[in-house]
Structures are given as C-alpha cells and as structure tokens.
Structure 1
Amino acid sequence: MKGKSVTSATPLRHKSSLVVFGAVTFATSWGFWLIAIALGGSVKNSPSVIPYVLGGFGPVFGAIVVRVRRSRRRELAPAHTVRLRLSMRLCWVLPLLVMASATVLAAALLADRLGGPALSFAEGRNLISDIGGPVPFFVSMLVAGPLSEEPGWRGTAYPRLRASFGRLQAGLLLGVVWAIWHLPLFFITGTLQAGFGLISWNGVLFVLTVIPMALLTGYAYERAGVAASIAVHLGVNATIALLDVKSPVVLACIVAVQTIVAITLLAWQRDRGADLPVHADSHPRQIVTSSTEAP
C-alpha cells in the first residue's frame, strides 16, 4: 500500500487546529487551576502548587495535541511557521531579550519621573536570595511562562492565525485570548495576580499588559522563532520580578512603552509580503518554502 502524501493545510483546517488548541489549552490550564483554587492555601507552601504549576503548561499540552493531529493527517506546517538555524536564532535572542527588559526598565524610570515609586532592585535581590541564588531564579523565570507557554501561543496558535490575519491583527487577537487565559490566577492565593486583585487598577492593568506583550512576542517569533519569543517573555517577566512591579503607575507605563515599541517595530518591518496572510490559493511553492517546521 502506498503511503499518504504530505498535503497543505487549508484555512479551514487551520481554524480547526486553533479550536483544538484552544480547547485543550483552556481545559487543562483552567482544570488544574480550579483544582488549585479548591485545595486552597498559598501556592508557595501547600499542595495546590502542583496543579498550579501543571496548569501553566496548558499551552504546551495544546501544542502537543495539535502537532500529533497534524502529523497523523500528514499536513504541511502553516506557511508562517518559523524555524532558523541555531546560529541565526542566537543572533536575535540576546538583542530581543535586552530589548524586552529595556521596555520594563524604561517604564519604571518613566513612572519615577511621573511621581511613581523610585526604581529599586532591593526587592529583586531579596527574591533571588529567597529562591536560592541567580541560577534557580533564572531557571524559575525561564520555565514559569516562557517555556511553559511560548511553544503553544507563538509556536502553534500564532502561525495558524497568520494564515488569515496580518501581524497586528493576529497579535491583538492572540493577546486578548492570552489575557483571558490568565483570569483564574487571580483566585489562586500566592500568585502575583491574586496579590493584585481582579477588580482593581493593578488587576486591570496587568490584563492590559498582556496585549502589547503578545505583539512583542509575535514580532520576536517572526524574527527568529520560538526561541526569540521565549527570550522576550523571559526578559519582561524577569525584569518585572527584579523590580518588584506592583504600582499601577508602573504597570500603566509598561503598557504605554511596550505598545509604542511594538507598533514601532511592526511598522519598521516593512516587508509587506511577509505581513500578508497566506490563503489556500497561494502559490504552493510559497507554502512549502516558508513552512520549515510546525508545532
């Protein structure tokens, strides 16, 4: 019996994959987080830390299911999937990480000038000491968010959204979904979100920070794949932790600065062909050459 040939995926199949990804991601994340809420206690020193951590990997579970499903159907990767050689990825990873961290630092300095809290790394040093040193801090920042989310949000959902939308629209749409995904964390004792409170300026501003973050990580993904989006996610999260960002003034400045930077980067990358969605009637060669990997 002859083996099945590899086929290109239609926009309908991309939408189907997005539905599957979303269903698995939300079901696993929210399911585990609801268990953490039911168990009670702080995630810092109770059994609820286990479902709390597992819930953070919901996007990875979603990505795995979509990858297995696509492999069984022997479909090509989405046209906007990005994978580069290791040397090319490394050329982008460090600059993008620095850029992401700089957006938070710039926002903190701006907030200081506007009457907000003074820029300080004192709480950050205490956090590193409490965790056990720089290496455990780095590992925890890398795993909790960047590694547990980016293979799903950017590596799986984003390329499929790009089949129908431009970079800005895809980033904004994914940002809204990403923000909604975080909501149960506001009800888990011991999380940053619970400390803010959902019905508060800090809670609202945290939700809003996810939108420009989605644009920045989407831009990074198109530059150098998942490694780059992980770097941006890591840079933002680690800097926020080191600065112990809790002031609504600082959070508002982060939203403003990152929005300006994201829009500027998207406007500066004036490759109009790269910004257009790829439809089913696109030239087959375009789909094959741009689809070097698929989650």
Structure 2
Amino acid sequence: MSGSAGSVKRRVLEFFALTFVVSWALWGLGAIFGTDSGIWPILSTLAGFGPLVASGVLSWRDGNVRSWAQQAIRWRTGLRWWAVALVVAPVLSLVGYGVYLALTGASLGLTDDPIVVVYPMLFFYILFLRGGFGEEMGWRGYALPHLLKQYNTTIAALLIGIGWAAWHLPLFFIQGTRQSGLFALYLVGVIGLSVIIAWLYTRSRGSVLLTTVFHAQWNVFDSGALFSVGGDAALVGPGASALVIWLFAGVLIVADSETMRSVHPSLSPFTESSART
C-alpha cells in the first residue's frame, strides 16, 4: 500500500473510531439513566455531534480546521444544486410513503398541527441539533473528501454508508428511542442515502451546507411528524423507503457515471503538506 493510500485509510479509521467512542459513550451513559429521564435528551443530542467533534479534532491536529470548516458555508453552488438539496429528499420520502400506501392500503393525512409552524421549526431543529451539521461535518465534511482521494464516489459513499448506519446501532438496543425495526433494512436505506448525498457533495463542489440541508429535509419528512399514517406494517415502510432510495441512487450511478465512477481528489480540503503527522 502506498503512503498516500495508507494515510487515507488511517485518517478515516481514526475518524470513525473517535466518532464511535464519543457518541456511543454518551448514548451508553444516557441509557443508564433511561430514555424517560430528563438527562437523556441532553446526552442524546450531544451524542449526535460525535462526527463533528471527531472531524474537528482531527482537522485541528492536522492543521486543516479552516478549510474543513469552510465547507459548512459554501453556498455559491448554483441554484439547481440548492433545488436538489431542498426538493429531492421530500420527493423520495413521499414516493416511499406512496409505495407503502399502495402495498398496505393504509391511510395518510397531514398532521393536525399547523404545517407552516411545525415544518420550519422541525427543519431548523434538525439542521442544527439532530442529524444536520453535527453529522454532516463528519460523514461528508471529513470522511468523504479523504476517501475521494483514493476511491471513486460510489465506493466512497458505500464505505461511509456502512459506518454511518453502524454508528446508529446502539439506538436499536436502547429502549424508548425512535430507532426500531430490522437493522438490515435500515442499513440498506442509509447506504443508499449515502450514495445520493455523496453525489450531491461532489456535484456541488464540496458543499457540506447543501448536504446538511438535504439530510435535514430527509429527517423532517421521514420522521412522520408532518403526517398521520394509518396501518401497521413494520417492515413494509422501511422496505418501501429503501427501494425508492436505491432506485434513485441506481439512476445516479448509471446516468452520471463521470461523477460516480471517478475519484475526486481536487475536492478534498485536506492537504498532506499541512498535516502534522
């Protein structure tokens, strides 16, 4: 293995190891107190910042904090990529709901709460506190650009998707969390989302801001907070969602092969010369 390849592998493994230690320790501590305790929301929220903390610490160590952080404010990407960030996730989520309704005959309606109030509050809450910058500055802001030095976009996205899903694993065993169901289905869906978001990151020339918007939009619609859904088919919902995600991801891999089957080292904000190793 070349020195460059070894450096990429080492930094990504360091990132995932530190991320898991920070987040799993906080979730574990929260589980000891119980999800019905007053401290659980605080500890679980802090745990969600594990990827940001890990990537920030490693970027500081390597002398790349400024270039790493600048990805969070990269907004001059073109209107079409803003449209992708804002619209694609809701559309995919709604199509997934549609497949679920077609397969189960369940009913779907809007929540009784006013959408004009619920939606923006939930969006900004997630953007800043739950699955937004706290995660994206790590997954796409650190791990992805490192991997894009060595692997094509699709392979890099698959690797990150596995780690991203595995990071959530403790929540499937802590009673009282929103994570439930079959982890295998969740894994498939998250890996597919990782492919789509990696495509957006690459096409927007390294904008973590846009991947964060996409991530927040997905979590808003996928949470079910905007809808009231009748019926109870535990596996059909996640399965329908994963199917729709992978249909779209597959289209991207085939239709935009130049992006998805190429390495993109120029997108990396991290320079070997500035790293203190």
| TM-score normalised per structure 2 | 0.82
Equivalent residue for 1:293, pick from 254, 269, 277: 269
**1:116-170: CA deviations, max 9, x gaps?**
5223222xx44979xx744432222213002210010011001112222212211
Equivalent residue for 2:178, pick from 186, 192, 198: 192
Equivalent residue for 1:271, pick from 240, 244, 258: 258
- Equivalent residue letter for 2:48: G
Change (3 A) 1:50 1:84: closer
What secondary structure is seen at the aligned counterpart in 2 of 1:136?
Answer: helix
Change (3 A) 1:49 1:230: same
Q: Indicate whether 1:102 and 2:91 are aligned.
A: yes
Distance 1:184 1:89 in 2: 38
Tell whether the 8 Å contact from 2:145 to 2:267 is kept in structure 1 after alignment.
no
Residues 167-206 of structure 1 aligned to structure 2 (within 5 Å): 167-193=153-179, 196=180, 200-201=181-182, 203-206=183-186
Q: Indicate whether 1:92 and 2:68 are aligned.
A: no
Distance 1:217 1:127 in 2: 30
Which structure: larger Rg? 1
Match of 1:119 in 2: 108
Match of 1:248 in 2: 235
Tell whether the 8 Å contact from 2:97 to 2:241 is kept in structure 1 after alignment.
yes
Count of aligned residue pairs for this structure pair: 259
Change (3 A) 1:244 1:119: closer
Match of 1:6 in 2: none
Q: Indicate whether 1:18 and 2:12 are aligned.
A: yes
Residues 73-92 of structure 1 aligned to structure 2 (within 5 Å): 86-88=75-77, 91-92=80-81
Distance 2:88 2:118 in 1: 24
Tell whether the 8 Å contact from 2:72 to 2:209 is kept in structure 1 after alignment.
no
Distance 2:125 2:74 in 1: 27
Tell whether the 8 Å contact from 2:72 to 2:137 is kept in structure 1 after alignment.
no
Distance 2:126 2:178 in 1: 13
- Equivalent residue letter for 1:238: V
Equivalent residue for 1:40, pick from 29, 34, 43: 34
Distance 1:248 1:240 in 2: 15
Match of 1:238 in 2: 220
**1:250-293: CA deviations, max 9, x gaps?**
21111001101011112222326x73336xxxxxxxx6xx2473
What secondary structure is seen at the aligned counterpart in 1 of 2:257?
Answer: coil
Match of 1:140 in 2: 125
Distance 2:175 2:261 in 1: 41
Distance 1:83 1:180 in 2: 24
1:87 Cα deviation from its structure 2 partner: 2.8
Quote the RMSD (CA, aligned, Å): 3.0
Equivalent residue for 1:70, pick from 62, 74, 99: 62
Change (3 A) 1:267 1:153: same
Change (3 A) 1:133 1:86: closer
